[in-house]
Structure 1
Amino acid sequence: MTTSNDRPPGTRHRPVMLQRCVELLGPALRGPESLVVDCTLGLGGHADALLTAFPGLRLVGLDRDPAALTLARERLSGHGDRVTLVHAVYDELPAVLADLGVPRVAGVLFDLGVSSMQLDEAGRGFAYAQDAPLDMRMDPTTGINAADVLNTYAPGDLVRVLRGYGEERFASRIVEAVVAERARRPITSSARLVELIREALPQAAMRTGGNPAKRTFQALRIEVNGELATLERALPAAVAALALHGRLVVLSYHSLEDRMVKRVLAEGAASTAPPGLPVVPEQYQPRLRLLTRGAERPDEREVAENQRAAPARLRAAERIREAPR
């Protein structure tokens, strides 16, 4: 039988809002020897489209998942030495560019969250619809996994994770069930965790909002991979890496990410001058120009063809001023 992960990368994953990403980054990538950084390479769908659309473009692709890098390398091999792939987390962008001797870049792309490959590979433990060991590490070679979090965190810390990263209203009830279960035996499988969540929630809560385990799995994944702390460091670093008229595009998939992206871009697009100045000096002028009005969403056709695109939110900005010296 052929599984989703036996197929070539190009047929396994549909890049979200692909054409819109190419359109928004395009004006910055037309120059000779322009360089774009795909900070979340995944299976290379966005990267492949950008390299195809702009024949003079060079691309640096980052991903923390070694399996994704292997598959992306295969997919992008036809672009030859225009591609440099690096095993790194996206907050390591400054160090990666320094190692490559690259002072500034024309574009940066983030496609945040968990990839289709990670969801489809049952053994990774990301998907609540499949029974698997509770891992959820985007880089399975390092760090704690989801089972470690569930079985070793203090109850108060577990409540904090579920409330803060999953926006789970019934965090206390779920944690009570988890603590009682782990006192009997360690929680190691996604199926058992889903059972505990279903048993802990009131019936009314399970009739709305999709799978009742969704918020808990999101929270554990964010905790295991340090996603929000990483993004908080990575976004300012990406803005700082942009050359004048360089562009940043970010796809996020839940409100916690999107709020962070919105804040960083809004701050960059605002004047930092003290109130009441009759003329705003150069050093206080905005560094960014917003390219999207609010967060753009995938259209109905794309969502119908790819349900995983449904929660996507896209924001973009252009660097219009150098940082003050």
Structure 2
Amino acid sequence: MKFKHTSVLLHETINELKPKNDGLYVDATFGGGGHAKYLLSKLDRGTLIGFDQDQYAIDSAKLNFANLLASKTGPQLKLVHDNFSHLNVNLVKLGYQDGIDGIYYDLGVSSPQFDQAERGFSYRFDARLDMRMDQRQSLDAYQLVNETSQKDLANILYKYGNEKFSRQIAHKIIESRQKKPIETTFELVEIIKEAIPAYVRRSGGHPAKKTFQALRVAVNHELEVLNESLKEAIDLLKPGGRISVITFQSDEDRIVKSIFKKYSEVEVPRGMPMIPDTLKARMRLVNRKPIVASDEELKNNNRSHSAKLRVAEKL
């Protein structure tokens, strides 16, 4: 079982964590394990806890990292099949309640999730509408498309996909599902094409791209769980510990930037002679501007074009 996925900003993400030989680290989005492999090469006897809500990613990791998982010496790897919004409860279960030295996130959908037609993530393959990263959850894209009101559908497409024809697409979806349920990705693609003016379809990218992105984000509650997880991660960091986050969408980056800013700044009431400890900043921004891919990486990995890396350190 191969999980083929080229890691973006590989060295920058891990090197900015300043890994310690015996540190405790968390990979919040294990995926194909590219970042994990590089981090583990930096540890002599430290531990990495890898989280992924996708069973396929966990099963692949068990095969690809079998020797390391079975080893009793050297760096240790432990895998957790869960969403990264449940960091603390899982770390406690594993016996780690004294904080972590670093954590990193590589957000977005992994290449295998797009490439596996049956997962229903891609408008390039015909499959049942699904888009669940965690196959254990009940809500999928089929339910969202066939059971959500026109107003809420339009809001989802606009909010999570920045789709300017969100109302027209939502109207066409409602119109179509009144005749029969919308079951497959290709059925939805045709509906989207009908809703978008012809002159728009002739230019730009695939007409279904923004709608599919919006539905995926909504199905997996991506922005909500990111917001929760980042706050929990900051609480878990030891003083001097660092957090690295790679985003691929403006909404994701806005959340990361906002939380990092909130935790790294202090609003001091006017006239206060000294700043009490309770008002001191909890984080320090390691990079004011996001780190982006080098020219060489941009040539070799198309996915890196929209990637932004932000790093912060616990004080």
Tell me the TM-score range normalised by the shorter chain. over 0.9
For residue 33 of structure 2, the aligned residue among 35, 44, 51 is 44
Which of 48, 62, 75 is the matching residue for 2:51? 62
After superposition, the Cα gap between the structure-2 partners of 1:206 and 1:62, relative to the gap in structure 1 and judged at 3 Å, is: same
Alpha-carbon distance in 2 for matches of 1:182, 1:68: 34
**Alignment-derived partner of residue 186 in structure 2:** 191
Please say which of residues 110-119 and 272-281 is displaced more in the overlay: 272-281
| Equivalence for 2:308 | 313
Q: Which TM-score applies when normalising by structure 2?
A: 0.94
Aligned residue pairs: how many?
Answer: 309
Deviation at 1:207, TM superposition (A): 4.3
Distance 1:20 1:207 in 2: 38
Q: Which runs of 5+ in 1 are unaligned?
A: 1-5, 321-325
What are the equivalent positions in structure 2 for 1:127-146 lying under 5 Å apart? 127-146=122-141
Q: 1:71 is paired with a residue of what secondary structure? A: helix
Equivalent residue number for residue 15 of structure 2: 23
Q: Closer, same or farther in 2 for the Cα pair 1:19/1:199, shift >3 Å?
A: same
Please state how far the C-alpha of 1:209 moved relative to its aligned partner. 4.0
Report the Cα distance in structure 1 between the residues aligned to 2:46 and 2:311, rounded to whole angstroms. Answer: 20
Aligned to 2:6: 14
1:77 aligns to what?
A: 66
The answer to whether the aligner puts 1:232 opposite 2:227 as a matched pair is yes
What secondary structure does 1:173 align onto? helix
Q: Which amino acid in 1 is paired with 2:52?
A: D
Contact kept in structure 1, 2:283 and 2:312, CA below 8 Å: yes
Deviation of 1:203 after TM superposition, in Å, equals 2.9
2:98 paired with 1:106? no
Q: Equivalent residues in 2 for 1:262-277 (5 A)?
A: 262-277=257-272
- Give the counterpart letter for 1:90 in structure 2: F
Residues in 2 aligned to 1:181 and 1:211: alpha-carbon distance in whole angstroms: 21
Residue matched to 1:118? 113
The verdict on how the C-alpha distance between 1:276 and 1:203 changes in structure 2, with shifts beyond 3 A counting, is farther
1:221 aligned to 205, 216, 222, which one?
216
1:168–1:216 Cα contact (<8 Å) kept: yes
CA contact (8 A) 1:295 1:314 kept: yes
Distance 1:228 1:199 in 2: 29
Contact 1:273 1:285 in 2 (8 A): no
Residue 237 of structure 1 deviates from its aligned partner by 0.1
CA contact (8 A) 1:272 1:286 kept: no
In the alignment, the residues of structure 2 paired with residue 191 and residue 137 of structure 1 have an alpha-carbon distance, to the nearest angstrom, of: 17
Report the secondary structure of 1:53's partner residue: coil
Matched residue SS, 2:171: helix
1:21-69 deviations in Å (ceiling 9; x for gaps): 12101x2x2142x110011111111111100122222100111111110
- Is the Cα–Cα contact under 8 Å of residues 206 and 212 in structure 1 kept in the other structure? yes
TM-score normalized by the length of structure 1: 0.91
AA aligned opposite 1:214: K
- Among 286, 292, 296, which residue is 1:297 paired with? 292
Matched with 1:323 is none
Asked whether the 8 Å contact 1:113–1:252 carries over to 2, the reply is yes
Letter in 2 for 1:176: H
> Residues 201, 275 of structure 1: CA spacing in aligned structure 2 closer, same or farther, 3 A cutoff?
farther
CA contact under 8 A between 1:272 and 1:285: conserved in structure 2? no
Q: 1:261 to 1:117 in 2, by over 3 A?
A: same
**Residue by residue, what CA displacement relative to the aligned partner does 1:245-285 show, whole Å, maximum 9, x if unpaired?**
00000111101111000000011110143234343222212
In 1, the alpha carbon distance for the partners of 2:93 and 2:208 equals: 41
Which secondary structure state, in structure 1, belongs to the residue aligned with residue 41 of structure 2?
helix
